[in-house]
Amino acid sequence: MVWPYLNIYLNDRLDLPLIMTTTLISVRGVTEIISSFISGPIADRFGRRKMMIVSLAAGAVYYYLLSVAGSLQQFILLMAVWGFFNMFYPVGSNAMIADLVDKEQQMSAFSFLRIVTNSGFAIGPIIGGIIASQSYSSIFYAAATGFAISCILLILTIKESLQKVETHDEVQRASTRMIDVFRDYGFIFIIGMSIFIFMGTSAVFNLLSLYASRNFGIQESHIGIVFTVNALMCVTLQIPVIQLIKTRRFTTVLSIGAFLYTIGIFMYSMIPTVAWFSLSMAVMTTGELLVTPTLLSFTAAKAPPDARGRYMGIYSLAHPIGFAIGPVISGYLYDHTVPQAIWWGGAFFCLIATIGYLILRARGADDLPA
């Protein structure tokens, strides 16, 4: 309900130029990066369930405090703290799935997780857009309540999946595993290319609402439809897409997906209507359907049992790095060139990822050694 409209809220509440509000959101990305390094070892040492509970509880507090914050300093503090705890949940939940599901079924399992998650995203932006036209504070109250309910349900229903490390030697090996992850150069390169994808998509998810409302007078409630296209496609098409790609070379899938991201993001610059934005989102989401489950299952397959949290932590780095850098660049382009430049820049970032994955494919790197 919140994220498509947060930039508009900050822009109106603080009366700052776009480059400042996008930089403010990037503060969250910086602490998410820090958290990605820390959350993996924490998940492998103390368990996945505790991390997920802490993250949901922190989310409830964060969204409530957003509704009452009124100064730049308060928003900076909130963004920074939430960025740190926000990463605990995806790292914990992804590691838990890797614990519970056989490797042969992990792509399907991660796809199912995305379907369930996107069911919420299918509803949220529409409801958020309707509420935003009346009161932004009400969105924050609703989001805080949702996090609190999720936290309680998790406490009551989810058991820990981590198998405890017992011996001193195993503890020593686990304590050095993060270094080993960074020595897995093929894995790091693949995750590095995905950073460029997130730099491109950050423009869509952070700036489309503001771009449409400020330049073309499109209401927030209408833009919510565009984001719902993304969620509905993930809900309805993810399993059929998985059936098509699960036997394909993963570099081929990643290359095609990154190229579809490139085309979809560039399309936003062409025709300023909700229908065209929805079509652009459909193209971009097709890329997402290919890339995200492929990267997740690849990460889970590469990770040793005692380092799944660490590998998922490095996988989770791509999103905050991309969303920390991308909005700042997009905000600068918006303020100093023409508004459409944010889409040209986003498409360029995804093109870099496309080229990177094509290079891997040309080298026959579909079974990269650790």
Smallest Cα–Cα separation from 201: which of 274, 107, 291, 139?
Answer: 291
Does residue 369 fall inside a structural domain? no
Nearest residue to 255 via CA among 295, 227, 282, 204: 295
367: in domain: no
What helix, strand, coil percent values describe the chain, rounded to 5?
A: 85, 0, 15
CA distances from 291 to 108, 154, 197 (A): 14, 28, 10
Residues counted in the chain: 370
> What's the CA gap between 249 and 95, in Å, rounded?
24
Specify the pTM. 0.73
What residues make up the domain containing 90?
A: 3-158+168-362
Torsion of CA 82, 84, 87, 89, to 10 degrees: -70
For residue 210, being part of any structural domain is answered with: yes
CA angle, 84 then 227 then 152, to 5°: 45
Q: What's the domain count of the chain?
A: 1
Please check whether residue 12 lies inside any domain of the structure: yes
Nearest-angstrom CA–CA distance, 171 and 354: 39
3-class state of residue 160 by DSSP: coil
| Contact by Cβ (8 Å): 325, 199 | yes
Q: Would you state the structure tokens that stand for residue 195, as one six-digit string?
A: 């950073």
Identify the residue whose tokens are 């130029």.
17
What pLDDT sits at residue 176?
A: 43
| DSSP designation for 163 | P
3-state secondary structure of 268: coil
Q: What is the CATH number of the domain that holds 271?
A: 1.20.1250.20
Say what the pLDDT of residue 366 is. 56
Nearest to 28 by CA among 53, 3, 51: 3
Per-block mean pLDDT, blocks of 10 residues, the chain (370 long): 72 72 76 83 87 95 89 88 90 87 80 79 75 79 92 94 60 54 82 93 85 82 81 84 81 94 96 93 93 85 76 82 84 87 94 94 61
Cα separation, 35 vs 4, in Å, equals: 23
Question: If we measure between CA atoms, which residue out of 370, 58, 355, 29 comes closest to residue 199?
Answer: 29
Q: Is residue 274 part of a domain?
A: yes
Is 97 a domain residue? yes
Q: What is the pLDDT of residue 253?
A: 92
Other CB atoms closer than 10 Å to residue 266's CB: what's the count?
21
